[in-house]
Chain A
Amino acid sequence: VRGADPDRGFRGSHPRHGLDPVIHSPVRLSIVACLAAADKAEFAFVRDTVEVSDSVLSKQVSTLEEAGYVKVNKGYVGKRPRTWLSLSPAGRRALEAHLAALQVIASTAETRGPAGLGAATQSAMAGGHDA
């Protein structure tokens, strides 16, 4: 599985060509978005945030790990095993490119006039990029 190259720009004129096929999946987008706002997150936290089962999250994380977007670290806190997930630099670049494409697509509706569509767009683009 290979993700889109976030540095290559759009392949065609439509902004959908800028969407990353790996994180286009809603579950994987939620995972990557969650990890983008965090230094690291424990497996259970991501599972609860994305609202999926352990097995679904494990499968999706494997896909993201194969694409080079997510790093997985296993360890212990006391005697309890923990799995930590974090976003790789490639994953962060891919998310930024994907969000930019989503914003362009969403903005086509804003220019047509429905109220409120811009709020989520602006907020998502602002999140998880500072500090």
Chain B
Amino acid sequence: VTDEPTTLGPEGADAALGEVERAQAAVRTGSRWTARYLGACGIASLIFVTLTGLFPGRGGTVTAFWVGVVGAAVYYARRQWVSWQGFRRLNDLAFAAWGLLWTGTAVLGFALFPGRPIFWVPAAFVVAAPLFTAAWRSARR
């Protein structure tokens, strides 16, 4: 079930290349959700880290919020029809970096700066940075 490519001229070749570009542009358009998804995760991370640090006695409530956000994000991502090539890897890297930064922040912050905004507010931005960076990269595609 093949078509022997024997009669393709320059105009036909350029038309085929134009169709390739059109199909790939459709994927880029259909993948715009990835930037929104990563940006929303970044904002949720800001809230999570800030509240966790400033209200250590409410750890259960804040953790439940974060688990809910991650669950909703995963559900939203699974419902999408397409993602651009390399998104899965970028997403995995962003969340791996987030996990490392959050672990370091939690160890340092709970030991030395419990409830102190001067540590936790900037730390929240640092922890969320991989997610915002990934969102920015997704938006640029």
Q: Which residues of A contact B (CB under 8 A)?
A: 1, 16, 19-22, 24-26, 29-31, 33-34, 36-42, 44-45, 49-50, 63, 77, 99, 102-103, 105-110, 112, 117, 120-121, 123-125, 127-128, 130-131
Q: Does B1 contact A (CB under 8 A)?
A: yes
The A-B contact count (CB < 8 A) is 141
What residues on B are CB-neighbors of A105 within 8 Å?
8-10, 12-13
Please count how many residues in chain B sit with their CB below 8 Å of the partner chain's CB atoms: 43
B17 touches A106 (CB 8 A): yes
The answer on a CB contact under 8 Å between B16 and A29 is yes
Q: For chain B, what secondary structure do more than half of its interface residues adopt (helix, strand, loop), or is it mixed?
A: helix
Map CB proximity to A onto B70-91 as digits: 1 under 8 Å, 0 otherwise. Answer: 0000000011011111111110
Chain B residues near A50 (CB, 8 Å)?
23
Of all A-B residue pairs in the complex, the 9 with the closest CB atoms, nearest first, are A131-B86, A109-B10, A120-B18, A19-B5, A105-B13, A45-B81, A127-B24, A21-B2, A37-B27
